[in-house]
Amino acid sequence: MAERPKTPLLDQVDLPSDLNGLSDEQLSTLAGELRAETISAVSETGGHLGAGLGVVELTVALHAVFDAPKDKIIWDVSHQCYPHKILTGRRDRIRTLRQKDGLSGFTKRSESPYDCFGAAHSSTSISAALGFAVARDLGGEGGDAIAVIGDGSMSAGMAYEAMNNAGHLNKRLVVILNDNEMSIAPPVGAMSSYLSRLYAGNPFQEFKAAAKGAVSFLPEPFQEGARRAKEMLKGMTVGGTLFEELGFSYVGPIDGHDMEQLLSVLRTVKTRATGPILIHAITKKGKGYAEHRADRGHATAKFDVVTGEQKKTPSNAPSYTSVFAESLIKEATKDDKVVAVTAAMPDGTGLDRFMSRFTSRCFDVGIAEQHAVTFCAGLAAGGMKPFCTLYSTFLQRGYDQIVHDVAIQRLPVRFAIDRAGLVGADGATHAGSFDVAFLANLPGFVVMAAADEAELVRMVATAVAHDDGPIAFRFPRGEGVGVEIPDDAVPLEIGKGRVIREGARVASLSFGTRLQEVEKA
């Protein structure tokens, strides 16, 4: 008689509480099913795939050990939250990800009680988790606070501000460093190098594995000495010194795809932690599907699961981003004072092309917009012509520096603002809705918005020529309108618009890329 096919474990899980009856072996099986479901869903919707695939085992382990939503799990940036959404009552809607009236691509408080904190910009999780921990101890909502932060997000100062404060307050708090050596672009900076050194030594990993099994076979009098030796070697070889100096107990590095290790460490932390603790988990972005791609499957359009081929709409005109990049390269060829700065988005802003041509004049500072702006202010004060190239939504993170370090000092920093306006699937957190208002009210600031590709090219030339205070130009995501692009761009006259059509009854004023729609109207 044929054996009945087993019901997939994932079909038996609607909420995290359904994990309580599963064995550790079943939790490993569930992780495999969860990875397959995540790949299947994103193939139909598009979205951020790689980060979620990297934390599948961690997601299962966290929900198996902790008691959400009483315990607060905060996913930094939350590109990595799709598996979490599947396990928290939203599997039936996971194929509406990033669609109109569908699930958000990020955690969102109004969407589910399991999304305890909305996150779509990086490096906020430890601050929020500390807030939850202090609120708990002051009589607010109970439960543990767990921040899951990626290695790329550790390049931002806010993460250290939070850790410094958490170490001082000494509250029970769990930080999981999801270290996959891969943010959106390859990680940069001293922090990335430090994390690499922490787990580069294979001899330590082999000793640790051997010691774990060997200690129990020693006679009792020798066991304590062996444990001390192991701890001393760990301190000498790895140590997590930086985190310990900030007041955190350091555990790791551990294999973030080994369910046995994850469950063992998390259960120990759950029962024994008293103050702040950092668990250093090594993972692979895109694990099980896209880890061999250059971007590890960071963001993808709809795709064929078998071939991996993305289903992209063919483009009829160049993207605004590519037009900007090519224009800046032309200007930099003529003027060796032109330099470019971005914050962890060289590919998204087109500066990867600039970087390949002018390696010594292009800087990716990591996820650190505040630093990027003031760094540009210093470059301008030093006689260079810096282009601070950020997405509109990320530029908000450096606003104090724009006001204090650039505008008040009237420094000629050029702000190239990509993804300005509405951005569709990414939702409200990534819409570049506010830059015109928050820049135009600052003293001496020139603000421009391109109506088409030809204007954008002229705005780049205008910014290069402008040396009387700060200047900004904004352009949207996606392709242009297909107008002819001038070979030799002439700077615009500041403060003067152009008449497109003359009539007698109605006056229409257009600013930026709505010009095509205004003309139709």
Looking at the fold, whether 368 and 505 belong to one and the same domain comes out as yes
Which one from 90, 108, 285, 330 is the annotated catalytic residue? 285
More confident residue, 113 or 240: 113
Is-contact 163 123, C-beta < 8 A? no
Residues whose CB is less than 8 angstroms from the CB of residue 364 and which lie 6 or more positions away in sequence, other chains included: 185, 188, 341, 342, 343, 344, 345, 346, 351, 355
Looking at the fold, whether 269 and 364 belong to one and the same domain comes out as no
**411 located within any domain:** yes
**15 located within any domain:** no
> Annotated catalytic, 136?
no
Q: Which of 175-179, 234-238, 489-493, 509-513 has the lowest mean pLDDT?
A: 234-238
Distance CA 514, CA 422 (A): 12
> Annotated catalytic, 414?
no
Distance CA 302, CA 426 (A): 15
What CATH code is carried by the domain that includes residue 34? 3.40.50.970
Looking at the fold, whether 374 and 460 belong to one and the same domain comes out as yes
Percent of the chain with pLDDT over 90: 53
Which one from 369, 419, 453, 474 is the annotated catalytic residue? 369
CA 376, chain centre distance (Å): 22
**293 located within any domain:** no
More confident residue, 388 or 156: 388
Looking at the fold, whether 373 and 226 belong to one and the same domain comes out as no
| Residue 218 confidence (pLDDT) | 44
**292 located within any domain:** no
Segment 430-456 mean pLDDT: 92
Range of the domain at 223: 20-282
Measured from the Cβ of residue 139, the count of other Cβ atoms closer than 10 Å reads: 7
Distance CA 327, CA 336 (A): 14
Domains held by the chain: number:
2
| Residue 232 confidence (pLDDT) | 42
Looking at the fold, whether 190 and 269 belong to one and the same domain comes out as yes
Looking at the fold, whether 277 and 350 belong to one and the same domain comes out as no
| Residue 217 confidence (pLDDT) | 41
**378 located within any domain:** yes
Looking at the fold, whether 261 and 354 belong to one and the same domain comes out as no
| Residue 57 confidence (pLDDT) | 96
Looking at the fold, whether 243 and 378 belong to one and the same domain comes out as no
> Annotated catalytic, 474?
no
Segment 94-113 mean pLDDT: 91
Question: CA 369, 373, 375 angle in degrees (round to 5)?
Answer: 110
Is-contact 248 167, C-beta < 8 A? yes
Looking at the fold, whether 232 and 106 belong to one and the same domain comes out as yes
| Residue 333 confidence (pLDDT) | 96
**332 located within any domain:** yes
Distance CA 519, CA 501 (A): 9
Q: Which amino acid is at 188?
A: V
Question: Which pairs from 12-20 meet CB under 8 Å and 24+ separation?
Answer: 13/87, 14/89, 14/91, 15/87, 15/88, 15/89, 16/63, 16/64, 16/67, 16/68, 16/87, 16/88, 16/114, 19/60, 19/63, 19/64, 19/87, 20/64
Looking at the fold, whether 276 and 333 belong to one and the same domain comes out as no
Sheet holding 385-391, edge to edge: 362-364, 338-342, 385-391, 414-418, 471-474, 446-449
Which one from 108, 397, 419, 458 is the annotated catalytic residue? 397
| Residue 474 confidence (pLDDT) | 94
Is the peptide bond between 470 and the residue preceding it cis, with omega within 30 degrees of 0?
A: no
Please spell the DSSP secondary structure of 334-381, one letter per residue. H-TTEEEEESS-HHHHTHHHHHHH-GGGEEE--S-HHHHHHHHHHHHH
**337 located within any domain:** yes
| Residue 445 confidence (pLDDT) | 96
| Residue 233 confidence (pLDDT) | 40
Over the stretch 178-213, which tens digit does the pLDDT of each residue have? 988 654 455 556 666 666 665 554 433 443 443 344
Confidence of residue 114 (pLDDT cuts 50, 70, 90): very high
**Assign residue 56 a region: left if phi > 0, alpha if psi is -120 to 50, beta otherwise?**
alpha
Last residue in a domain, options 282, 304, 336: 282
- Torsions phi, psi of 258, nearest 5? -100, 105
Looking at the fold, whether 274 and 378 belong to one and the same domain comes out as no
Q: Which of 64-68, 88-92, 365-369, 424-428 has the lowest mean pLDDT?
A: 424-428
Distance CA 435, CA 396 (A): 8
Segment 456-475 mean pLDDT: 96
Overall pTM surpassing 0.85 (yes/no): no
What is the chain's mean pLDDT, rounded?
85
Q: Is the pLDDT assigned to residue 214 strictly greater than 60?
A: no
Is-contact 297 82, C-beta < 8 A? no
Over the stretch 336-382, which tens digit does the pLDDT of each residue have? 999 999 998 899 999 999 999 999 999 998 888 999 999 999 999 99
Distance CA 250, CA 182 (A): 21
Is-contact 106 78, C-beta < 8 A? yes
Looking at the fold, whether 240 and 349 belong to one and the same domain comes out as no
Distance CA 448, CA 394 (A): 18
**4 located within any domain:** no
